[in-house]
Amino acid sequence: MITFEGVTKRYPGGAVALDDVSLDCPTGEITVFVGTSGGGKTTALRAVNRMVEPTSGRVLIDGRDVREQRPAELRRGIGYVIQHAGLFPHRTIEDNIATVPYLLRWNKKKARARALELMERVGLDHSMAKRYPFQLSGGQQQRVGVARALAADPPIMLMDEPFSAVDPVVRAELQDEFLRLQDELHKTIVFVTHDIDEAIKLGDTIAVFRTGGKVAQVDTPENLLAHPADDFVAGFIGQNRGIRTLSFAGTGELRLSDDAVRPVTADAADLTGLDWILVVDEDRRPLGWTRPAQIGGSLSEAPLAPVGPTFRVGSDSVRVALDAAVLSPSGLAVGVDDAGAVVGTAAGSDLLAVPTHGNGAGGTGHGAGSDG
Amino acid sequence: MDIDWAWIADHRDSLTEHALVHLRLALLPVLFGLLIALPLGVLCRRWGWLYPPALTIANILYAVPSLALFMIFIQYTGLTASTVMIPLTLYSLSVLIPNVVDGLASVSEPVRQAATAMGFGTLRRLMQVELPIAVPVVIAGTRVAAVSSISLVAVGQLIGQGGLGYDIIRGYQLQFQTQIVAATVLIVLLALVTDAILVTVQRLLTPWARARGGAS
Amino acid sequence: MNELWNQIELSWTWLTASSQWHGPDGIPHRLLQHVWYSGVSLLCAAVIGLALGLLAGHTGRGGFLAITLANVARAIPTFGLVLFVVVIDYSITPVLVALVALAVPPILVNTFEGVRGVDPDAKDAARGVGMTGWGVLWHAELPMALPLILLGLRTSAIQVVATATIAAYPGFGGLGRYIIDGLARGDYQLVVGGTVLVVALALIVQLIFAGLRRLVVSPGLLGSARPS
């Protein structure tokens, strides 16, 4: 556990970057520092590996003051990922990843083997091992950055806006893989971001920093959305926090309708009274939407509109289901099971009627709501 | 223009000898300059206040005519090779110090921070991260210094130490074009070959650098 | 060190002697010659260097050629060139040609690098608001490359001022006269005096360029130029 005890950082000019910050970052969990720029979240992060020395107060790792260790040694035991990866341009990818192992005097063979192993872990092809950073895309560089931070298997990782310099699609991919990695590795992670959506998606705990370096609220994402401590937090979370709350409602207890689902072999005769039909194959995998009026003879010849996005019953949140409903040509969200077979459909209005507190599996798949 | 090819063939040996002396007079100063500029550049980068005065001194040195500088040193080192090489070292410094500082400045802030955060000490960061990344810029400066040095050595002949400069002055005194042309062309060739070697060295040392064209 | 101070004092006496400030061998006349040679050479070099540099930088073509050309020009020993051409044609023109060859590379290289280094987004924006090729060059690339271009001009100017001393060797005067004469006669204070004048001239050039930079470079760009 990382503990901040009354940490204050005042710069010589009088500017206060951190004002009496006290909070805990539990072991094996992701704690997100979120806030406006100038809120001190990065300063707080850097106090952990002594890139910033507090004016007063102290930072403890598992009860031990970080100042007891020499900075260089302390830092070799803490992974650090920053916005623009900060890869060494003059070293190959594998040597970049093996940086800390080299510093710790591992032998070269072992360090390189570890680098290859990590490349696999973060989804990089082995063929990139001998390339140089400039030959990689932004998203790939960021993966290398994460792999480099993990190289010596540090129990703690500090991540300073690691995904904000890449485009939204890549960012979502990196976030998902990051959560998958964390499920395997259970690192103690401090993650800084200015993006509240990212904070809600990734955080087990969220600390909201406000201007002047004060912590406005430390809470679980659900509680933060449901009960913002003050106007600043409410304002920071934004207008659509109602919709965001749906991220924490599971789809496991939704009642899905089978009325509109028809196998492709079905007779076209008994379709009256339905606006839209979801045509499925023999394994109940969705093929597309069609309207009874468009059907001449059998369903197999009917013109089909694309299914659109679907949601996984149980593991996806109601927010994902709502998205699927809005984007579906029929206005109905298609729920599928893990094999991709259709469980049933739900209308947008049904989804909004779902109670959103204290139930269901977490929408983010890493156990944020599993204690509810 | 009449070139007396037979004269060139007859004087191959002396021309070669002068060319070798020329190279030594020109390149040793660049080497010394590099050895001095690296630590000085590092210091200037570390203590920012040191850089403006260092740059001013470099700029003034650059403005002193080479011939004058040679003559000033006659007072101390006589008509020896040092009298040519010390001023050339100073010229190299005035090109190389800004280049070393620029090269170190070309290390991006995220890279510097990442190195610190991973537990590099100051010295290790300098040796393993900052200096290697500065190599392309430093070599670009070394190219300019080396080429200028090679073409400047000729002036040293006015105090009796000029390598191929001997043939230029001799040719002028005898109004013998061939000797001047041969020496001048040889100097250009020496400079270009040296430049090509430095470019190759840079390519080999920094396979990671994007093709960037030449730097000034 | 003491000896050095002694010499400087002697040179100071020489510099301030009233006899030095009159006549064809006086400082004003020599200074004028020196400034004249330097100015003409720099002007020619600026026309050549700027034209080629802007062309290569703007079109993005011929960059390698321009840089190579500049490097070859840098490799030519000014001394050899001066004496060689003087042997063929005894006039001041060869000296000027040699000085131009010396001054073109820094201008050319810096202009090219300056224009090429202009933020592509800014160039795009210029094209986006409807500027033609000339418009982009004139309103975007040139102003943004100006700090580097001025730096190149300054480097060349200082080199030319320092090297124009060579004109005295084949007998064309200028401030180099004192240095060459001093060498011939073993008159040390003459050498130092001449040198001080050349360095002072170079410093004035440097000041002029500092003023020019403040005058013509947009304040939004100051501080971004790096010495080359």
What is the fold of A261-352?
CBS-domain (3.10.580)
- Do B208 and A86 make contact, defined as CB atoms within 8 angstroms? no
Name the residue of chain A whose CA is nearest to B136's CA: A90
Q: Between chain B and chain A, are at least 3 CB pairs below 8 A?
A: yes
pLDDT surpasses 60 at C39: yes
Interface check for A84 against chain B (CB to CB < 8 A): the answer is yes
Distance (Å, whole) CA C156 – CA C42: 7
Q: How many domains does one find in chain C?
A: 1
Place of tokens 């083997």: A113
Domains of chain B, start order: 13-205 (1.10.3720.10)
Place of tokens 């809470």: A219
* Residue of A204, A233, A232, A236 lying closest to A220 (CA atoms): A204
Q: Are strands A156-160 and A188-193 parallel, antiparallel or unpaired?
A: parallel
Indicate the average pLDDT of chain A: 85
Interface check for C75 against chain B (CB to CB < 8 A): the answer is yes
Q: How far is C199 from chain B (nearest CA, A)?
A: 6
Q: What is the 3-state secondary structure (H, E, C) of A215-256?
A: EEEEECHHHHHHCCCCHHHHHHHCCCHHHHHHHHCECCCCCC
**Helical packing angle, C63-75 and C92-116, nearest 10°:** 140
Interface check for A42 against chain B (CB to CB < 8 A): the answer is no
Distance (Å, whole) CA A124 – CA A93: 10
Give the helix/strand (H/E) hosting A58.
strand A56-61
- Do A88 and B115 make contact, defined as CB atoms within 8 angstroms? yes
Interface check for C67 against chain B (CB to CB < 8 A): the answer is yes
pLDDT surpasses 80 at A50: yes
Name the residue of chain A whose CA is nearest to B205's CA: A90
Using pLDDT thresholds of 50, 70 and 90, give the confidence band for residue A57. very high
Q: Are strands A332-336 and A277-280 parallel, antiparallel or unpaired?
A: unpaired
Positions of chain B with pLDDT under 50: 211-216
* pLDDT reported for residue A356: 55
- Do B118 and A76 make contact, defined as CB atoms within 8 angstroms? yes
- Structure tokens belonging to residue B61: 């040195």
Distance (Å, whole) CA A179 – CA A170: 14
pLDDT surpasses 90 at A45: yes
* pLDDT reported for residue A294: 67
Question: What is the helix, strand, coil percentage profile of chain C, to 5?
Answer: 80, 0, 20
Percentage above 70 pLDDT, chain C: 91
Q: How far is B39 from chain A (nearest CA, A)?
A: 21
- Do B65 and C159 make contact, defined as CB atoms within 8 angstroms? no
Q: Which A positions 111-130 lie with beta carbon below 8 A of chain B?
A: none
- Structure tokens belonging to residue A233: 């937090």
Contact list, C76 vs chain B (CB under 8 Å): 151, 184, 187-188
Name the residue of chain C whose CA is nearest to B138's CA: C228
Measured CA distances, C53 to A286, C104, C117, C160 (Å): 63, 10, 12, 19
Instruction: Give pLDDT tens digits for B20-31.
Output: 999 999 999 999
pLDDT surpasses 70 at A296: no
Interface check for A51 against chain B (CB to CB < 8 A): the answer is yes
Give the helix/strand (H/E) hosting C221.
none
DSSP state for residue A160 in the 8-state scheme: E
Interface check for C86 against chain B (CB to CB < 8 A): the answer is yes
ipTM: 0.75
Task: State the average pLDDT over residues C23-50.
Answer: 88
Supply the range of the domain harboring residue C103.
27-216
* pLDDT reported for residue A208: 93
Per the domain annotation, does C88 fall within a domain?
yes
Measured CA distances, A123 to A119, A149, A165, C163 (Å): 6, 15, 19, 60
Measured CA distances, B101 to B95, B106, C8, C110 (Å): 11, 9, 33, 18
- Structure tokens belonging to residue A84: 């623009």
Residue A154 zone, left/alpha/beta (φ > 0; ψ -120 to 50; rest): beta
Cα angle A319, A325, A330 (rounded to 5 degrees) comes to: 180
* pLDDT reported for residue A315: 83
User: Which residues, in sequence order, are CB contacts of A89 under 8 Å at separation 6+?
Assistant: A132, A133, A134, B111, B133, B208, B209
Instruction: Give pLDDT tens digits for A214-267.
Output: 999 999 998 888 888 888 888 888 766 677 777 777 888 788 888 888 888 777
pLDDT surpasses 60 at A359: no
- Do B216 and C110 make contact, defined as CB atoms within 8 angstroms? yes
Q: What is residue B172's three-state secondary structure?
A: helix
Chains that touch A (3 or more CB pairs under 8 A): B
Interface check for B25 against chain C (CB to CB < 8 A): the answer is no
Per the domain annotation, does C7 fall within a domain?
no
Lowest mean pLDDT of A97-106, A321-330, C30-39, name the range: A321-330
One-letter identity of residue A13: G
Q: Where are the alpha helices (DSSP H) in B49-153?
A: 51-63, 66-77, 81-105, 109-117, 122-125, 131-152
DSSP per residue, A354-371: S--SS-S--TTSSSTTTT
Instruction: Give pLDDT tens digits for B123-167.
Output: 999 999 999 999 988 998 999 899 989 988 988 888 888 889 899
Interface check for B68 against chain C (CB to CB < 8 A): the answer is yes
Using pLDDT thresholds of 50, 70 and 90, give the confidence band for residue A363. very low
- Do A99 and B118 make contact, defined as CB atoms within 8 angstroms? yes
Lowest mean pLDDT of A19-23, A57-61, A84-88, A105-109, name the range: A84-88
* pLDDT reported for residue A266: 75
Give the helix/strand (H/E) hosting B37.
helix B12-46
Q: Where are the alpha helices (DSSP H) in chain A?
A: 41-48, 71-76, 93-97, 99-103, 108-121, 138-150, 168-185, 196-202, 221-226, 231-237, 241-245, 318-327, 348-352
Q: What is residue B210's three-state secondary structure?
A: coil
pLDDT surpasses 90 at A48: yes
* pLDDT reported for residue C23: 67
Give the helix/strand (H/E) hosting A275.
none
**Helical packing angle, B51-63 and C142-163, nearest 10°:** 50
* pLDDT reported for residue B96: 93
Q: How far is B3 from chain A (nearest CA, A)?
A: 50
Percentage above 90 pLDDT, chain C: 14
pLDDT surpasses 50 at A365: no
pLDDT surpasses 80 at A355: no
Among the partner residues B117, B119, B133, nearest to A89 by beta-carbon distance = B133
Instruction: Give pLDDT tens digits for C84-136.
Output: 777 777 777 888 888 998 899 999 988 998 888 888 788 788 877 778 777 88
Q: Between chain B and chain C, are at least 3 CB pairs below 8 A?
A: yes
Distance (Å, whole) CA A157 – CA A176: 17
* pLDDT reported for residue A239: 64
One-letter identity of residue C3: E
Instruction: Give pLDDT tens digits for A303-330.
Output: 888 888 888 888 888 888 888 888 888 8
Domain residue ranges of chain A, discontinuous segments joined by +? 2-248, 261-352
Chains that touch C (3 or more CB pairs under 8 A): B
Q: How far is B159 from chain A (nearest CA, A)?
A: 45
Give phi and psi for A4, each to the nearest 5.
Answer: -100, 125
Task: State the average pLDDT over residues C184-203.
Answer: 83
Place of tokens 């990734």: A202
> Is-contact B70 B84, C-beta < 8 A?
yes
> Is-contact A278 A328, C-beta < 8 A?
no
Among the partner residues B65, B169, B175, nearest to C195 by beta-carbon distance = B65
Pairs across A and B, CB distance < 8 A: 70
Name the residue of chain A whose CA is nearest to B131's CA: A90
* Residue of A204, A180, A122, A187 lying closest to A315 (CA atoms): A180
- Do B195 and C176 make contact, defined as CB atoms within 8 angstroms? no
Q: What is residue C10's three-state secondary structure?
A: helix
Using pLDDT thresholds of 50, 70 and 90, give the confidence band for residue A100. very high
Among the partner residues B1, B151, B165, nearest to C76 by beta-carbon distance = B151
**Residue B55: CA count within 13 A, CB half-sphere:** 16
- Do B119 and A158 make contact, defined as CB atoms within 8 angstroms? no
* Residue of C72, C76, C79 lying closest to C176 (CA atoms): C79
* pLDDT reported for residue B214: 36
User: Which residues, in sequence order, are CB contacts of C188 under 8 Å at separation 6+?
Assistant: B71, B75, C7, C10, C182
Per the domain annotation, does C63 fall within a domain?
yes
Q: Quick one: how many helices (H) and strands (E) in chain A?
A: 13, 16
Using pLDDT thresholds of 50, 70 and 90, give the confidence band for residue C18. low
> Is-contact B169 C83, C-beta < 8 A?
yes
Q: How far is C125 from chain B (nearest CA, A)?
A: 24
Give the helix/strand (H/E) hosting A104.
none
Indicate the average pLDDT of chain B: 87
Distance (Å, whole) CA A130 – CA A124: 12
Contact list, C180 vs chain B (CB under 8 Å): 67
Give the helix/strand (H/E) hosting B5.
helix B5-10
> Is-contact A92 A112, C-beta < 8 A?
no
* pLDDT reported for residue B139: 92
DSSP state for residue C20 in the 8-state scheme: G
- Do B191 and C162 make contact, defined as CB atoms within 8 angstroms? no
Per the domain annotation, does C228 fall within a domain?
no
Q: How far is B40 from chain A (nearest CA, A)?
A: 23
Percentage above 70 pLDDT, chain A: 91
- Do B65 and C176 make contact, defined as CB atoms within 8 angstroms? yes
Contact list, B143 vs chain C (CB under 8 Å): 71
Per the domain annotation, does C203 fall within a domain?
yes
Contact list, B62 vs chain C (CB under 8 Å): 158-159, 162
Interface check for B173 against chain C (CB to CB < 8 A): the answer is no
Using pLDDT thresholds of 50, 70 and 90, give the confidence band for residue A101. very high
The yes/no answer on whether domain A2-248 falls in CATH 3.90.1150.200 is: no
Contact list, B180 vs chain C (CB under 8 Å): 80, 83-84, 87
Q: How far is B172 from chain A (nearest CA, A)?
A: 50
Q: What is residue C169's three-state secondary structure?
A: coil
Best of A88, A95, A96, A130 to mutate (most B CBs within 10 Å, chain B) = A88
Contact list, B168 vs chain C (CB under 8 Å): 77, 79-80, 83-84
CATH number at residue C31: 1.10.3720.10
- Do B111 and A89 make contact, defined as CB atoms within 8 angstroms? yes
One-letter identity of residue A320: V
Lowest mean pLDDT of A60-74, A77-91, A125-139, C66-80, name the range: C66-80
> Is-contact C121 C196, C-beta < 8 A?
no
Contact list, C159 vs chain B (CB under 8 Å): 62
Among the partner residues C63, C71, C87, nearest to B175 by beta-carbon distance = C87
Radius of gyration of chain C (CA): 21
One-letter identity of residue C72: V
Task: State the average pLDDT over residues C200-207.
Answer: 88
Using pLDDT thresholds of 50, 70 and 90, give the confidence band for residue A98. very high
Per the domain annotation, does C10 fall within a domain?
no
Measured in whole angstroms, the distance separating CA A289 from the mean position of its chain's CA atoms is: 32
- Do A86 and B110 make contact, defined as CB atoms within 8 angstroms? yes
Neighbour tally for B39: CB within 10 Å: 10
Contact list, B102 vs chain C (CB under 8 Å): 226-227
pLDDT surpasses 90 at C206: no
